[in-house]
Amino acid sequence: MFGKLSAPAVREIERVLGTKHVRRDAPLRREYGEDALGRGHPPDLVVFPGSAADVAAVVRLCAAQRVPLTPRGAGTGYTGGAVPSRGGVVLALDRMDRIKAIDEANLLAVVEPNVVTGALQAAVERAGLFYPPDPASLDRSAIGGNVAECAGGPRAFKYGTTRRYVLGLEAVLPTGEIIRTGGKTVKNVVGYDLTQLLIGSEGTLAIITEITLRLVPRPAARRVLRAWFANVEKAVAAVRGVLAAGVVPAALELVDAVCLAAARARGGAGIAPDGAGAALIVEVDGTPRAVDEELRRAAEACEAAGAGGVVAARDEAERTALWQARRDLSLALRAAAPRKINHDVVVPQARIPDLFDAVDGLRRDLQLDIACFGHVGDGNIHVNLLVDPEDPAQMARAHAAERRLFEAVVALEGSISGEHGIGFTKQPYLHLELSAETIALMRRLKQAFDPHGILNPGKIFPEVAS
């Protein structure tokens, strides 16, 4: 089905991009053949375009010779969306990292895809504005990848995920045409909403080369507290109490005992003291008076649910340290076991206790170490299986746990992925959530955008026997 780039085609790419931006040395091909999973397939060639025109030129050559093409940003994903499944060309967007405009009058920013999320946040906050989406990897992940996966993060409960902030896109189709979708207005109902279709499409429909983002005014104040509990059940009861008190947190995070122990083992004891069975992080933002009132109500709700302690950060330094401890949880869990299998499941808020019951059943029945943390405000919990890949019996139990977890999540009216996407890691489970008719429609959309099937093949859809 797929071909390889001919020598004349490679020379043409070198002519367009410059020879230093076309690489085939083995170490770099290995690097760009992996993401946070550490799995993938080395490409035959890695190219570094500097513009949409460069991207289009490469795409046209690949399309003519039926060469698979994988777009890649910062490579921080967990489901394999940014790594090749069968060689071909990796289109590395490293050079496309400019913030083109911060438009204070119209509350928007225009950026290239490899702008790091945290760098954009810092830049717009200096202008008195705010870009709310904040994936845990915000200091490493790029906006283009955030759009391709529809990234969320702790602030999604109050502010929504990435798709809420994308007004327009420039993108290159798998046939080489450059298109623009949306624009610079919040309202736009002209034709099909191709902007929202491309968001979350995991690089399978087009290569995003420019993003126009909606901004909001920066909150005047924000404060955060941490509370710890004897067990997860009490922490979840506190969540219900916080929301019932009329508090709409900017972030509401839950951390279980396994995560807390891993954080302490790595020197990160800033979330909860020894012996805590679970912890909550509650942040509120808004006007100073409203923030103080909401933080008081949140603290009272935690105490009423049986918190062992409630501590509010005294200043911005303590707030930053607490959030750094939360963002470091994934690294702490990686250090706790040879491999961490991270699944970002999501259930309706009222079904969160049922999800934790299901996880307890997996721990008990399959004798696995499982750590949970995540965005409890919107039901998006990261379930981490801590395993040894050199133990075949344990890996077999882990794979059984994955299927049982996803079946339980769907039975709870949830989704098998809230932020990370499907990639190739969740392909086998797509049918658990989506009907055959829905998957068939998605395949037809893919065919319409990518008639030769060259763009990021082997992702989302289970392979069809030829």
Tens-place pLDDT, residues 50-87: 999 999 999 999 999 999 999 999 999 989 999 998 89
In a domain, 427, yes or no: no
Q: pTM for the full model? A: 0.94
In a domain, 373, yes or no: yes
Same domain (yes/no): 155, 6 = yes
Same domain (yes/no): 213, 245 = no
What is the CATH classification number for the domain harbouring 399?
3.30.70.2740
Same domain (yes/no): 321, 341 = no
Task: Give the Cα separation of 32 and 42 in Å (integer).
Answer: 7
- In the predicted structure, residue 268 carries a pLDDT above the cut 70: no
Same domain (yes/no): 349, 300 = no
Domain termination residue (choose one: 396, 411, 426): 411
Domain termination residue (choose one: 202, 217, 232): 217
Contacts of 198 (CB under 8 A, 6+ apart): 147, 169, 171, 181, 205, 206, 208
In a domain, 134, yes or no: yes
Q: List, for residues 129-168, the tens digit of each pLDDT value.
A: 999 999 988 899 999 999 999 999 999 999 999 999 999 9
What is the CATH classification number for the domain harbouring 255?
3.30.70.3450
Which residues constitute the domain of residue 382?
337-411
Map tokens 């309706």 to a residue: 348
Q: List, for residues 165-224, the tens digit of each pLDDT value.
A: 999 999 999 999 999 999 999 999 999 999 999 999 999 999 999 999 999 999 999 999
Radius of gyration of the chain (CA): 23
- Give the per-residue pLDDT at 132: 97
Same domain (yes/no): 89, 184 = yes
- What is the number of domains present in the chain? 3
Same domain (yes/no): 99, 34 = yes
Count CB neighbours of 79 within 10 A.
26
Domain termination residue (choose one: 192, 217, 242): 217
- Give the per-residue pLDDT at 466: 42
In a domain, 458, yes or no: no
Q: At 424, is the secondary structure helix, strand, or coil?
A: coil
In a domain, 465, yes or no: no
Same domain (yes/no): 319, 392 = no
